[in-house]
Amino acid sequence: MKVLKFGGTSVGSPQRMKEVSKLITNGERNIVVLSAMSGTTNSLVEIADYFKKRNFETAHSLINKLRIKYEAHVKDLYSTEAAAQKTTELLDEVFVLLRSFANADFTPSVEKAILAQGEIMSTNMVTNYLEECGVKVRLVSALDYLRIDEDGEPYLSQITAYWEDFLAQNEDIEVFITQGFICRNDNNEIDNLQRGGSDYSACLIGAALKLDEIQIWTDIDGMHNNDPRVVDGTKPVRQLHFEEAAELAYFGAKILHPTCILPARFTGVPVRLLNTMEPEAPGTIINNEMRQGAIKAVAAKDNITAIKIVSSRMLLAKGYLRGIFETFERHNTSIDMVTTSEVGVSLSIDNDTHLHAIVEDLKESGTVIVDKDMCIICVVGDLRSQNVGFESRIASAMCDIPIRMISYGGSEHNISFLIHQDHKKAALQALSRELFSE
């Protein structure tokens, strides 16, 4: 048994829903996780925002717009009156509920209840369509089995217990449809796994049930070995180790939510990235296999700020770095790259909300130099020290690029360079030429 997750664009129109339904009914008994139709969660965020600002007129007009859109989808999707009727009844309930929030106090839980409606609508629509096609299908509400604690951490064992029971009781069912993204919290209120969280839902189910595979279906053919917007001729990477995928996800390969592969990694369930537009393509498989000596991909992350603290007091001092790190912690800012010398330390951050306060505090420790508009370039692959020679290949590709920081040795899968954003394009192109051209 596998879990198949389809994102917003994959279910973004009635036509796409029909295509997805074909992929789902492949003769296997699978669990299918769906996002909201593309654009819907954004609309719901906007609606919630107008409710929050007590601008009910605009909220209601946006709700009406959404409703008209969904009514048109119903017409296009179903060929029988019964399926159309069943879906219309559900949509009516959703839109009555959305409007009713005008009478409620606006709380975070109201906002989350509003955001949840996109996935509730898309899963009902596809379930009713499959039913109309004669598929033995069951809609399973994520609100019944996916729960998070105060820190947003899911209770994996509850997923296992619920589904094991449910699968045993529904042996005749071929396809189980459920919502990505949405869940409940400890107060039993509707909550969510953060924007883009449907991948995470799928990985949690796959890990909790130790399924054969977690498939993430999107509209691109897997992870590419470089940024296709910047470099021509990039190729999909066929296989990645979980850690390589985690590095790439953080460094802007937006195809996969960074935290989502953790549960899969811990249980060893492979994750496969596939393309709905090209279902036959092999995509990218992410598993625990380490391919010897292979350099897999290059990625970049923009809008990085570099901070250098130089002080002769650092020489032979104890606890100097702790003081620096504590400053960032106090200002709720996480550090990405770190390099040190005897008389200085350089760090990078990707969120400069508290930069001013951080710099003021750091001035007590030394001379502070800030560089904005920087970019991290990372190379991912088998970069164990036994893989001799990769450093010189990478360094020779970067020979014309002014480099501000280099970080290697933090993991066996990554070497990172901090450069100015102006040089990003040249760096990515040179790395592709050196590392990936045949």
CA distances from 326 to 319, 322, 333, 341, 369 (A): 11, 6, 10, 19, 18
User: 36 or 300, CB closer to ligand ASP?
Assistant: 36
Residue 10 interacts with ligand ASP (CB under 6 A): yes or no = no
Name 70's Cβ contacts closer than 8 Å, sequence gap at least 6: 91, 121
Nearer to Mg ion, 123 or 416 (CB): 123
In 3-state terms the chain splits into helix, strand, coil percentages (rounded to 5) of 45, 25, 35
In the shown chain, the binding pattern of residues 16 to 55 toward ligand ASP, with x for contact by CB under 6 A and - for none, equals: -------------------xx----x--------------
Q: 379 to each of 72, 143, 219, 411, how far by Cα in Å? A: 46, 40, 24, 12
Structure token digits, residue 350: 């990707």
Does 181 bind ligand ASP (CB under 6 A)? Our answer is yes
Rounded least distance, CB 192 to Mg ion, Å: 12
Measured from each CB, the residue nearest to Mg ion is: 7
Stated length of the chain: 438
Backbone angles phi, psi at 227, to 5 degrees: -75, 110
Other C-beta atoms lying within 10 Å of the C-beta of residue 91: 21
Q: How far is the CB of 91 from ligand ASP (least distance, A)?
A: 17
By beta carbon distance, the residue nearest ligand ASP is 198
Which of 94-102, 192-200, 268-276, 352-360 is the region at the interface with Mg ion (rule: CB under 5 A)? 192-200
Binding range to ligand ASP, per CB under 6 A, among 192-200, 288-296, 374-382, 383-391: 192-200
Cβ nearer to Mg ion, comparing 7 with 118: 7
Q: State both tokens at 355.
A: 């930069």
339 binds ligand ASP (CB under 6 A): no
CB atoms closer than 10 angstroms to residue 17: 22
In the bound state with ligand ASP, the residue whose beta carbon lies nearer, of 39 and 279, is 39
Cβ at position 264, least distance to Mg ion in Å: 17
Q: How many residues bind ligand ASP (CB under 6 A)?
A: 12
Minimum distance between the CB of residue 40 and ligand ASP, rounded to whole angstroms? 7
**φ, ψ of residue 347 in degrees (nearest 5):** -135, 160
Closest CA to 38 of 5, 57, 10, 2: 10
Per CB under 5 A, 206 contacts Mg ion: no
The tokens of 252 are what? 């802007």
Least distance in angstroms from the C-beta of 8 to Mg ion? 5
Binding-site partner at residue 178 among ligand ASP, Mg ion, none, CB < 5 to 8 Å by type: none
Residue 196 near ligand ASP by CB under 6 A: yes
- Does 195 interact with ligand ASP (rule: CB under 6 A)? yes
- Strands 2-6 vs 213-218: parallel, antiparallel or unpaired: parallel
Q: Taking contact as CB under 6 A, which single stretch among the options 99-107, 149-157, 189-197, 414-422 is the one that binds ligand ASP?
A: 189-197
Question: What dihedral angle (degrees, nearest 10) is formed by the CA atoms of 399, 402, 407, 412?
Answer: -30
> Which of the ranges 75-83, 191-199, 210-218, 425-433 carries the binding residues for ligand ASP, by CB under 6 A?
191-199
Residue 115: C-alpha distances to residues 2, 9, 211 (Å): 27, 17, 29
For residues 37 and 209, which CB has a smaller minimum distance to Mg ion in the complex?
Answer: 37
Nearest to 258 by CA among 334, 188, 329, 195: 195
Residue 181 interface partner, choices Mg ion, ligand ASP, none, CB cut-off 5-8 Å depending on type: ligand ASP
Q: Report in angstroms how near the CB of residue 4 gets to ligand ASP at its nearest.
A: 14
Rounded-to-integer distance, Cα 70 and Cα 124, Å: 12
- Which tokens hold the place of 6? 């389809």
- Exactly one of 8, 154, 236, 283 binds ligand ASP (CB under 6 A); that residue is 8
Amino acid at 54: R
Residue 7 binds Mg ion (CB under 5 A): yes
Amino acid, res. 95: F
Would you say 74 and 157 are in contact if contact means Cβ atoms under 8 Å apart? Answer: no
Q: Which residues bind ligand ASP (CB under 6 A)?
A: 7-8, 35-36, 41, 118, 180-181, 195-198
Question: Which residues in this chain contact Mg ion in the complex, by CB under 5 A?
Answer: 7, 196
